[in-house]
Structure 1
Amino acid sequence: MPEANQEFDIANVIDEKLIVLDLDVSTKVDMINVLTDCFEREGKLNDREAFFKDVMWREGEGETGIGMGVAIPHGKSSGVNKTALAIGTTKNDLEWASLDDEPVRIVILFAVTEGDSDVVHLKLLQHVAMLLAHESFVERLHAVKTPAEMLTLLESSPDDYDD
């Protein structure tokens, strides 16, 4: 039985079609393009170029690399018609402005509608941030082999991890 405070469910914003593993990309722009294509293919965008431009503008505003090889770029954009998350992994080190100055291999891209910009966006960021605060979660994230495994991991509760 779901807890009363769990009105937000990450399963509403991600599915296996938005998870792409072992990409052969070598730049931040390539990774963001691939993930943006996923959003477009799955009908999450009404204006691909506007969304991409908004994400790249946000990237210019500050670091979205949070450390341990993970980045969480995001775009709040009129080009988004349904708030969603896409995740890409690559074996290549991506140069990324990161808190620990280390390259990135896992990118969690947030696409947020203008209407969801406050409540859903914050809950989405909070859930992902709480998971990423656990080193054991990040280690498991780097070891994921299938989209289904990634989805299960993201749907887990931050309470499942004790570091």
Structure 2
Amino acid sequence: MKLIDLLQPEFIKYPLVTSSKIDVIKELLTLLAEHQRIRNPEEILAAILEREKVLSTGLGNGVAIPHCRSSAVHEFSLALGIHPRGVEFQSLDHKPSHIIFLLVGPETEAGFHLRLLSRISRIISKPEVRESIMASHSAPEIHRILQNQEAEFFEVAS
């Protein structure tokens, strides 16, 4: 499964309107709930926050990937939010996160969950991808950037 199969334009929030880590996570969970991708946003929020206690999902370079596996989730869902000013995610480089992916998956799918996280990390590790996303002005534009990058990455990788 490709990331782009999970991340349709309606699951991209540009711009995020809240300004705290917890509120941004809630905002992205609400987006997934509104599109019937998840049913128990409160339970999933608790699982994400528990995961954040172990180690922050702020990767640095303006990127965070809050995520969890939960028995409240029956299929993988992915949302993306863009915050022009940035949100404090306790990132490794101590800088705010502007590009925030939210990944939730079934508790029983650890291997696939890790593969999806790896795929996101590989694509977003390219500075030009991050710059293009931040220069974008709409969810469809961001979706096209990620779709092109994923296709390019897998064409080269195969």
Same fold (TM over 0.5): yes
Report the Cα distance in structure 2 between the residues aligned to 1:144 and 1:78, rounded to whole angstroms.
Answer: 35
User: Relative to structure 2, which stretch is displaced further, 86-95 or 49-58?
Assistant: 86-95
| 2:136 paired with 1:144 | yes
Letter in 1 for 2:98: R
Letter in 2 for 1:153: I
| 2:123 paired with 1:131 | yes
Give the SS at the match of 2:134: helix
Kept after mapping to 2: 8 A contact 1:25/1:92 = no
Kept after mapping to 1: 8 A contact 2:58/2:97 = yes
In the alignment of these two chains, the number of paired residues is: 153
Report what 1:49 is aligned to: 42
Please report how far the alpha carbon of residue 110 of structure 1 lies from its aligned counterpart in structure 2 after TM superposition: 0.5
Letter in 2 for 1:22: P
Report the Cα distance in structure 1 between the residues aligned to 2:85 and 2:149, rounded to whole angstroms.
Answer: 29
Structure 2 counterpart of 1:85, from 66, 78, 96: 78
Report what 2:156 is aligned to: none
Q: What fraction of aligned residue pairs are identical, expressed as a percent?
A: 27
Q: Deviations over 1:88-112 (max 9, x none)?
A: 1122331111011101122100011
Cα RMSD (Å): 1.7
Structure 2 counterpart of 1:97, from 87, 90, 93: 90
Report the Cα distance in structure 1 between the residues aligned to 2:82 and 2:49, rounded to whole angstroms.
Answer: 19
Give the SS at the match of 1:155: helix
Q: Deviations over 1:62-116 (max 9, x none)?
A: 1211112111110111122220110111223311110111011221000112243
Please report how far the alpha carbon of residue 35 of structure 1 lies from its aligned counterpart in structure 2 after TM superposition: 0.2
Structure 1 gaps of 5+ residues are 1-7
TM-score of the superposed pair, with normalisation by structure 1: 0.85
TM-score of the superposed pair, with normalisation by structure 2: 0.88
Would you tell me which structure has more helix in proportion to its own residues? 2
